[in-house]
Homo-oligomer: A and B are copies of this chain.
């Protein structure tokens, strides 16, 4: 569940001043994005500059300032572009296996230095730039929104209560991985991924993520499974 280096989007190019979707403008945007990713990965946000992006991408500095406004705009657009991929959560047929596949994918992607470099750099940049933090928020809001389909399908199958907060459940499933990756700086592996997924599932089955009023406050019938 990371931001892959996707190909330039085939759809309408939403960059400022865009023309000819998929054409020169999209190629420029992709080249600039790649330069930003490389810079963030190699030097971090503190070491990134518009000059670096210009040199690396071959796009003139004045163009970068005109179209992206500056460094923060470049980082934000790179993150926006990373979110324009076609990533979908797993669909195995059971909530347990979907959640395990999701957490395993998260663990594996951050264990791969090449795949992890960009998301790690964006998470770090968010500490230094409020705009990057906003873009990171939007990126993960969309990522987890896609993940909710895992929960909605489980509800349709009658595995968990209809009132389950899908967003809370998929966040809980992956949270122990992110905690170890970026706060406690501990290793993550497949066993931890499975444990995290199973823990969130157990919590969901116990009704921890149901959004209805608490039964003891306002009794109501249990949702139909």
Contact = CB atoms under 8 A, between A and B. Distances in A.
Interface stretch (A22-30, A169-177, A215-223): A169-177
A134 B186 CA distance: 10
A186 B137 contact: yes
A65 interface: no
A171 B144 CA distance: 21
Given A199-B172, A203-B198, A208-B195, A184 B144 contact: yes
Interface stretch (A9-17, A56-64, A81-89, A120-128): A120-128
A52 interface: no
A180 B171 contact: yes
A182 B182 contact: yes
Interface in A148-195: 168, 171-172, 174-176, 178-180, 182-186, 192, 195
Contact of A178 (B128, B183, B196, B198): B183
Interface in A134-149: 134, 136-137, 140-141, 144
A44 interface: yes
B178 A172 contact: no
Interface in A64-84: none
B185 A179 contact: no
A120 B123 CA distance: 13
A10 to B, nearest CB: 28
B44 A128 contact: yes
Contacts of A182: 123, 126, 178, 182-183
Contacts of A178: 175, 178-179, 182-183
A113 interface: no
Contacts of A168: 176, 192, 195
A200 interface: yes
15 contacts: A46-B128, A124-B124, A124-B127, A133-B185, A141-B186, A171-B179, A175-B175, A175-B179, A178-B183, A182-B183, A198-B206, A199-B208, A200-B203, A202-B205, A206-B206
Given A133-B185, A172-B196, 14 more contacts: A44-B46, A44-B127, A123-B183, A124-B124, A136-B184, A137-B185, A140-B184, A141-B186, A171-B179, A172-B176, A175-B175, A175-B179, A199-B208, A200-B203
